[in-house]
Amino acid sequence: MKRIVILISGRGSNMESMMTTAAAERWSAQIAAVISNKPDAAGLGIARDAGIPTAVVNHRDYLDRMQFDAALAAAIDQYQPDLVVLAGFMRILTENFVNHFAGRLINIHPSLLPSFTGLDTHQRAIDAGVKFHGATVHFVTSELDHGPIIAQAVVPVHENDDAEALAARVLEKEHQIYPRAVRDLLEGRLVLKGGRVVSTEVH
């Protein structure tokens, strides 16, 4: 059975949608652990209530990012994951960490990458006057918010949108596409090939 480790920093709404979807669809995979860099992350309680093992690697306990990332990688490796899923994990990861999990580390970003990398994506989309916005699931590389795109979802930007309203609409789409992307990767429907994600299904 394939194994997933999810990393969170807060409530973990994408984690929760993945748990719900995995249970409803009876995935032939298990969420082996949920790990947070914050001891008070609300998502840890949600995972524990669902019977999923949890762990904390507090970034404040380490002198620098290299030490933290080494400790985090060691914690993750205990669970022997086939896929490491970032779900609102608010730490920039070092190149060593990313390379260690190359091809197994994925993230969801609240924009249609390569547009609006970084923070404040929804307000920046509104300020830029774009007509469409969305979310992107991608493999993580050492370049922030880059890496091969696995899945995307699009939402319209309305004239009267503020950042909060747009964010809520994007989050709904995140909850749909992230579990689907994870399932398709674990079941081999999508594979990373030559720096791009391709479908193995014949159309």
Residue of 111, 87, 91 lying closest to 163 (CA atoms):
111
Q: Count other C-beta atoms under 10 Å from residue 156's C-beta.
A: 12
Cα dihedral 38, 186, 179, 99 sign? positive
Interstrand relation of 83-86 and 2-8 (parallel, antiparallel or unpaired): parallel
Cα–Cα distance between 158 and 88 in angstroms, integer?
25
For residue 18, the one-letter residue type is M
- Is 100 annotated in the active site? no
Cα–Cα distance between 34 and 110 in angstroms, integer?
21
> Residue 12 contacts by C-beta under 8 Å, 6 or more apart in sequence?
6, 34, 41, 42, 43, 46, 47, 87, 88
Whether the CB-CB separation of 155 and 133 falls below 8 Å is answered with yes
Q: Which residue has the tokens 């992107």?
A: 136
Which is the catalytic residue, given 59, 100, 109, 138?
109
Catalytic residue positions, numbered: 109
